[in-house]
Chain A
Amino acid sequence: MTPESVPYIVAALAAGGIFAPVIVSSAPVGLLRIILTAVALALSIASIFCTTGTFAFGMIAVLLILRGVFANKGTDLPKLPCIVSTLFAVAAAFTGEWPVLNLIAAVLLLATLSGAWPMHWLAARVIDRSPLAMAEQISTCIVATFAYLRFVAPTEFAFDAAATLVRLGAVLALLPAITALVQVNLRGFYRCVVAMHGGMLIAALGAAGHGHSAAALLVTVTLALAMGGLGAMVSAVEDRCGRVLLKDQGGRIWGMPRLAAAFLLFAASGVGMPGTAGFIADDLLLHALWEESVAGSLIMIVAAALLAVASLAAFAKIFLGPPATSLAGDLRRPERYVVVVTFGLLVLIGVAPWLLANPLAEYLRGFGAVPH
């Protein structure tokens, strides 16, 4: 892979993240939804290939405005999260001259999109409407992180703010990981998992200020693929069984074994299962964090361990147990394709991370990124 291929890889990943929710959606997909998806893809690609921060974040702002305008109609998104994230995107686009404001706006934009604390109340609105809509929103994180790595991370202020962001991100990852242990419904669990990854992303953005851009991109890709996939599986379970409580054992694995397997694989990838992108992202992130803040690194390790336990507990309550009486079917064929392709991508990046990480470092050097 050459450095020139990096934007194409990022564009392909973003395109997958944008289209996958449309493919797996159980609701009929109308013409408006298809047009919106195509426009979202076009704007994402435009943002990826823009050569200035103003245009890159501007394109993301336009994309979010579009979503806000058509919120509740063509998409499952509620209005408020679109409006707030649009404001942050606009702020990131027009504050290029003031690095402090630029960094704050960009980090807030990514925190809103990824559902990190304390912006998770906005993500909670999206997840409450539809977990699939959250999966779609997360895919925008790839584009926004790419813009951050090119135009915000190389600044001097980002260099100075690295340690603070790392510590902040570690704490923001730990809090939802702890609350994930006591969630009583599936959406609450999903919200905590996404928020924990949002915290990881904030820490990774901090580390990117010191040149650890590959860690940031791999964390985002894991967030998009694993959490997007998990969101799709949460949506699939709810489409079949309605609202799912995490009280007693659900026993759904008997009726939907493929769905259970896919849920487990995505949840495990998110917490660093070997052989997937999550494992490399965690490994890389920990080494990057260690250089900025030893405490931040330790907190992140504990957060990942707690989330792993919470994930297995949630899986056990949703799927394991005596056979449940249900007429709900297993994964449909389009859903299976999305699972195989998404998980395949997670594995591909997990076993061959150099495909993405090595050219990225070279590519970002052209934007003045600090050499690692």
Chain B
Amino acid sequence: MTHIDLDAIQRIALPVLILLPIAASAMVGLLIMASSRYPSERTATRILEVALTISLVLSALIAMCATGVFGAAPSAVVDYGALLELGTYRIPAVLLADWKGVVFSLLCAFLTLLVARFSRTYMHREAGYFRFFILLGGFATGAQLVALAGALDIFFAGWELIGIGSALFIGFFHERAEPVRSSLRAFATYRLCDAGFLMAMVCAHEVLGSTTINALDGSIDLPLWESTTIGLLFLLSVMGKSAQLPFSGWLPRAMEGPTPTSALFYGGISLHAGLFLMLRISPIISASPVVQVVGAVVGISTAIYAAAVARTNPDAKGALAHATLCQVGLILAEISLGFTTLALVHISGHALLRVWQYLRAPNAIHDAHRIGVHAVPVEESQPQSVLERRVYAAALHRLRLDDRIDSILDPLMVLARALDKFDQRVRVLFGGGKDVDS
């Protein structure tokens, strides 16, 4: 096979593997919208599984091309022109199939298909079965966009799809009030932290002249304050998505979602997507010592916090979530200190292990009996010294992170109520839109 052929194959395969899952979701959605009856579970699942399988096969093909299995590797940058080009402003339609992207793409495609297959049985006859698979397709496309984006605008599109999917999955069992509240909290954290991503993206465009990932290599020539600002803004977004301190409060609440999606999002891909962003912006990180230090401090602090909380958590999924968070914190520190290859290996191995653990979590008690694990006697597990007791209490209450963030946001709600009251008065004064219910 010639080099040109590989380029052409890659050029066609990349958009197909990214867009096929969401196209399958749209197809199921249209079937539901167009007909008066719902399609069968089997039809919906087949459509999604075929799309995810093709996506995985194409991802593997791209990985083989990139590693030179078929001869000389094609160019990693695949340029489709511009999504929009207006004078100096350009939204580039560029994909990047370099080794980092290919590894993460393969990981995402494999785990998504695995979870889809697992969920076919797990979610059988569950209310919201179709919703589950439609959202899964959207998530798969989001994850592939993150993995293979060659421009920050495209990366952000995938990033947002993952965030929306995560929030909707957390609130999946919405007949109870708690999952809905948790979903809102997670979504609010994502969106507020994503403000950092948007600002960083616009800044990067202004100072580097482009939003392509490769253009970030030029950040080494930027003044220190510019690279530091952009790096810190990106880091803010990563802290939200990867539940780093002080935004870790939403993670245990996210366990309200179905177990397969907990596995996929918080064991496999979503938490690690923040770390993948760190890998993508590594030129900016290496250009700014401040970002390196802040990233390492945040990562290590989160790891210590999560390790303590995991030991006091009374439920299996909560403990698992904090165990995952501990490793995610360590990986963040690795990337901040420049160990990017190690971090990618760590991400891959960790994601595979955690997905397996999450999927096994509902069987934890059964497994414990089978293996012969016995609970530690209460008197042995009690903290002894004053310091131990304090750490134990702090870990048990998860440092009251949610309360602290709520108290920071309280003035905003006070302002909102005051503004609304003023607005009502104005409207009543002019006779428009009287709020009879308020």
Contacts and interface: CB of A to CB of B under 8 A. Distances in A.
Interface of A: 80, 118, 120-125, 127-128, 175, 178-179, 181-185, 187-188, 191, 211-212, 214, 243, 245, 249, 251, 253-254, 257-258, 261, 268, 272-275, 279-280, 283-284, 286-288, 290, 297-298, 301-302, 305, 308-309, 312-313, 316, 320-323, 336, 339-340, 351, 353-354, 357-358, 361, 371-372
Contacts of A322: 175
Contacts of B32: 257-258
Given A179-B423, A297-B199, A320-B180, 17 more contacts: A120-B423, A121-B433, A123-B432, A124-B432, A124-B433, A183-B420, A187-B433, A188-B438, A191-B433, A273-B160, A274-B158, A275-B22, A279-B160, A284-B91, A312-B184, A316-B183, A322-B175
Interface string B78-122: 000011111111010000000000000000000000000000000
How many chain B residues sit at the interface, stated as a range, is 35 or more
Enumerate the 4 nearest inter-chain pairs by beta-carbon distance, A residue then B residue, closest first: A124-B433, A274-B157, A372-B87, A320-B174
A284 B437 contact: no
Contact of B85 (A272, A279, A354): A354
B433 A249 contact: no
Contacts of A184: 435, 437-438
B420 A372 contact: no
Contacts, number: 165
Contacts of A351: 83
A91 B109 CA distance: 59
A214 B86 contact: yes
A22 B89 CA distance: 39
21 contacts: A125-B433, A127-B433, A179-B416, A257-B131, A258-B33, A261-B29, A268-B164, A273-B160, A274-B160, A280-B91, A286-B202, A290-B202, A305-B195, A312-B167, A316-B183, A321-B175, A321-B180, A340-B30, A354-B84, A354-B85, A358-B86
Contact of A309 (B22, B82, B127, B191): B191
A187 to B, nearest CB: 7
A182 B171 contact: no
Contact of A178 (B91, B164, B183, B419): B419
Interface of B: 22, 29-30, 32-34, 82-89, 91, 127, 131, 142, 145, 153, 156-158, 160-161, 164, 167, 171, 174-175, 177, 180, 183-184, 187-188, 191-192, 194-195, 198-199, 202, 205-206, 412-413, 415-417, 419-420, 423, 426-427, 430-435, 437-438
A298 B199 contact: yes
A286 to B, nearest CB: 5
Contacts of B195: 301-302, 305
B277 to A, nearest CB: 15
B419 A179 contact: yes
B83 A354 contact: yes
B186 to A, nearest CB: 10
Given A273-B164, A305-B191, A287 B84 contact: no
A53 to B, nearest CB: 24
A222 B423 CA distance: 25
B177 A340 contact: no
Given A121-B433, A124-B432, A181-B416, A313 B84 contact: no
Given A305-B192, A323-B175, A354-B83, A175 B419 contact: yes
B85 A290 contact: no
Contact of B157 (A128, A279, A354): A279
A284 B167 CA distance: 26
Contact of A245 (B161, B412, B432, B437): B437
Most chain B CB within 10 A, of A273, A302, A316, is at: A316
